[in-house]
């Protein structure tokens, strides 16, 4: 039986056959859906390191090769030649848009970017100084009160409308969350501006929509900044079945409102082990303080008796260079040249990277710089406050979450998520 795996229970002297399922890429899987009924036992996989929780045709990762694809297209190609909105369209429709479709998609998102005035009032109810991620999570869930009819979606047009609405509104929600956190007035979207520029505009503009200009009389929002942030959005758009995406799918399995499911993803992303990692990278660089201190902290990172760990190195899935990090490394060089940046943090990061890529300790353990190592540096260069690093991640990832939600809802044999346990109590 070449397409099965045989497991033997040596205590009972019994063997069981389970089917092997082959995907179009990546490792095959063993279908153990009947394992409990066949054997009377559960499998145990702490952290789901060897468990496929679903089937999907959205995103593919090969961690050993350092490969990431959206709908079959390599991330490097998308990040360098396509806009974030084109990538959004690709994820939602499984096809790249033509020129007319891109324009129509862009125009629709511009007009859907405004928030209901009742939702805007909600921001004013939060205490001054609230962390933007806390406000963002609450506001995302609150969207379900304004668009409550999304529980009964049937037509493709209804799925698309629901998805495009939240993708369009997330930059506005994030910008409002930031301005509430610093006690500034809200800036409404400007439909004459592109998706990414609009977010920077809502973050930076003065009352009345006035934009600051530099000493040369130029607008603060430069094309290179828009391109850089757009690239970051693209690199964050989806990443297979990570913790936040799994949270979205698990909530979707209960039949909850899609925007509530997205809110669960936002909450999961906030953790330092997930979307909050780039914020931790910057804090650590600030703690190191200067290039002269790097060697001492590298030594601490290598000391097994020291709890200190370098942030931004290694990845749960990638055992080669994170392909997203490669793109951002090139972008960092470009920003440094075009914006004439050479900050102290960038000097420290460059020194750490130089050592880590040549030191046997890091190389043998495959501790390569990951996306968080570079994204924090670039966001700092773009004058994005540290508290907004994870909300930026949220903006980029929203399209992936909602695409995963749609795929789950349309899937056959949908079941509520219900892991089992190894009980060790009394």
Q: What is the pLDDT of residue 216?
A: 57
Per-residue pLDDT of the chain (426 residues; tens, 9 = 90+): 679 999 999 999 999 999 999 999 989 999 998 999 999 999 999 888 889 988 999 999 998 898 999 999 999 999 999 999 999 999 999 999 999 999 999 999 999 999 999 998 999 899 888 999 999 999 999 999 998 876 778 899 999 999 999 999 999 999 999 999 999 999 999 999 999 999 999 999 988 777 766 655 555 788 999 999 999 999 999 999 999 999 999 999 999 999 999 999 999 999 887 877 778 888 888 899 999 999 999 999 899 898 888 888 878 788 878 899 999 988 888 888 787 666 788 889 889 889 888 889 888 888 888 888 888 888 988 889 999 999 999 999 999 999 999 999 998 878 899 898 888 999
Lookup: tokens for 419 = 């892991």
Q: Are 386 and 289 in contact (CB under 8 A)?
A: no
**Residue 315 is among the residues annotated as catalytic for this protein:** yes
**Residue 17 is among the residues annotated as catalytic for this protein:** no
Taking the CA atoms of the chain, what radius of gyration do you get in angstroms? Answer: 23
Q: What is the pLDDT of residue 246?
A: 96
Q: What is the pLDDT of residue 219?
A: 57
Among 239, 257, 315, 322, which one carries the catalytic annotation?
A: 315
Among 230, 238, 322, 372, which one carries the catalytic annotation?
A: 372
Query: In sequence order, what E strands does 299-365 have?
Result: none
Q: Are 184 and 124 in contact (CB under 8 A)?
A: no
Q: What is the pLDDT of residue 1?
A: 61
Q: What is the pLDDT of residue 213?
A: 63
3-state secondary structure of 20: strand
- Give this prediction's pTM: 0.92
Chain-centroid distance of CA 308 in Å reads: 25
Residues 261, 321: Cα–Cα separation, whole Å: 31
Instruction: Quickly tell me which residue has 């929002």 as its tokens.
Output: 221
Count CB atoms within 10 A of the CB of residue 107.
11
Residues 216, 238: Cα–Cα separation, whole Å: 39
Residues 187, 176: Cα–Cα separation, whole Å: 8
Q: In order of start, what are the domains of the chain with their CATH numbers? A: 4-52 (2.20.28.60), 75-270+390-410 (1.10.580.10), 277-381 (1.10.230.10)
3-state secondary structure of 394: helix
């Amino acid at each position: 039986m070449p397409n099965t795996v045989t497991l033997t229970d040596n205590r009972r002297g019994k063997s069981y056959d389970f089917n092997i399922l082959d995907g179009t890429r990546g490792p095959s899987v063993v279908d153990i859906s009947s394992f409990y009924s066949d054997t009377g036992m559960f499998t145990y996989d702490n952290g789901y390191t060897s468990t496929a929780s679903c089937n999907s045709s959205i995103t593919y990762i090969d961690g050993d090769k350092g490969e990431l694809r959206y709908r079959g297209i390599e991330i490097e190609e998308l990040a360098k030649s396509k806009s974030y909105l084109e990538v959004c369209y690709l994820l939602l429709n499984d096809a790249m848009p033509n020129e007319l479709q891109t324009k129509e998609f862009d125009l629709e998102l511009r007009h859907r970017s405004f928030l209901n005035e009742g939702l805007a009032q909600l921001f004013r109810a939060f205490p001054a100084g609230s962390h933007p991620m806390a406000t963002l999570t609450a506001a995302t869930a609150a969207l379900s009160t304004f668009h409550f009819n999304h529980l009964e979606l049937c037509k493709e047009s209804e799925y698309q409308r629901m998805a495009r609405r939240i993708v369009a509104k997330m930059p506005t929600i994030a910008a409002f969350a930031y301005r509430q956190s610093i006690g500034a007035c809200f800036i409404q979207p400007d439909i004459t501006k592109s998706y990414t520029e609009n977010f920077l505009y809502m973050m930076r503009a003065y009352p009345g929509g006035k934009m600051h200009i530099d000493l040369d009389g130029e607008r603060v929002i430069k094309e290179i900044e828009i391109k850089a942030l757009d690239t970051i959005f693209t690199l964050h758009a989806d990443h297979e079945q990570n913790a936040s995406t799994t949270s979205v799918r698990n909530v979707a399995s209960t039949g909850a409102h899609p925007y509530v499911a997205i809110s669960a993803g936002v909450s999961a992303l906030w953790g330092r082990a997930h979307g909050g990692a780039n914020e931790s990278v910057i804090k650590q660089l600030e703690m190191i303080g200067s290039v002269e201190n790097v060697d001492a902290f590298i030594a601490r990172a290598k000391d097994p008796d020291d709890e200190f760990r370098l942030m931004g190195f290694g990845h749960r899935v990638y055992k080669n260079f994170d392909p997203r990090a490669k793109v951002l490394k090139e972008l960092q060089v470009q920003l440094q040249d075009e914006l004439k940046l050479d900050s102290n943090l960038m000097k420290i990061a460059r020194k750490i990277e130089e050592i880590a890529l040549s030191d046997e300790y890091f190389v043998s353990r495959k501790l390569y710089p990951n996306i968080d190592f570079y994204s924090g540096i670039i966001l700092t260069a773009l004058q994005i406050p540290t508290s907004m690093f994870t909300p930026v991640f949220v903006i980029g990832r929203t399209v992936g979450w909602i695409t995963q939600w749609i795929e789950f809802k349309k899937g056959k044999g949908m079941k509520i998520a219900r892991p089992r346990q190894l009980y060790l109590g009394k």
